[in-house]
Amino acid sequence: MRNRRKIYRTLHKYGEDILRSDSFQQSREYVQHGTFSVWKHSLNVAETSLKMSWALPFRFSEKELVRGALLHDYFLYDWHEKRVGVREIKEFYKMHGFTHPAIAARNARRDFKIGKLENEIICKHMWPLTIMPPMCREAWVVTMADKYCSLLETFHLVKGDLCG
C-alpha cells in the first residue's frame, strides 16, 4: 500500500502534464495487448520501471525514467485497426514493431518537454529490433519493463480493462 502511494506520487510528480493531457488520455481508446489499452499499458510500464529501478543497486534519473516510460508507446493510432487488404495488414503489423518508437518519439517531442534521455528511452524500447542497444540505464529498465508487461498483458496474466 505504501509502495502504491509512492508509485502514484512519483508518476504524478514527474508526469502530471503527460497524464493530464488530452492526447495521452486519447490512448485509452487504442488497444495495445489483449484487453489492455495503450494508456493502461504505458502506466503499467512506468510503474514496473519504477519498481525495477528501486530494486536495483544503481542510481537512476527518476524524472526521465517516468516520462520516457509513459511516452514510450505514444504513437497515437490503433495499430490493430484493419486497413486495406490482408497483405497490407500483415505488412503493417510487421512494420509497426520497427516504426512506432520513432513515431512515438516525434509525437513526444512535439507535445511535451522531453530531453535526450527520454528520447533515447522511447527510441530504443523495442531493442533488439532497433539493433543499436539502449545507451543508458533508464532505457534498459524501460525496455525490460515493456517486455515483461507485454508478456503478462498478452497472456492475460494480469487483470486489466480497456478504458480502465
- Contacts with Fe ion by CB under 5 A lie at 73, 146
Of 9 and 155, CB closest to Fe ion: 155
Of 73 and 138, CB closest to Fe ion: 73
Of 43 and 136, CB closest to Fe ion: 43
One-letter amino acid at 31 equals V
Inter-CA distances, 41 with 29, 72, 85, 109, 133, Å: 12, 10, 28, 20, 22
Reported as type and span, the H/E element at residue 32 is strand 31-33
| CB 157, CB 163: distance < 8 Å | no
Q: How far is the CB of 3 from Fe ion (least distance, A)?
A: 22
- Measured CA to CA, the distance from residue 54 to residue 67 in angstroms comes to 16
Q: How far is the CB of 96 from Fe ion (least distance, A)?
A: 9
Of 5 and 141, CB closest to Fe ion: 141
Q: How far is the CB of 60 from Fe ion (least distance, A)?
A: 19
- Measured CA to CA, the distance from residue 156 to residue 138 in angstroms comes to 27
Q: How far is the CB of 57 from Fe ion (least distance, A)?
A: 26
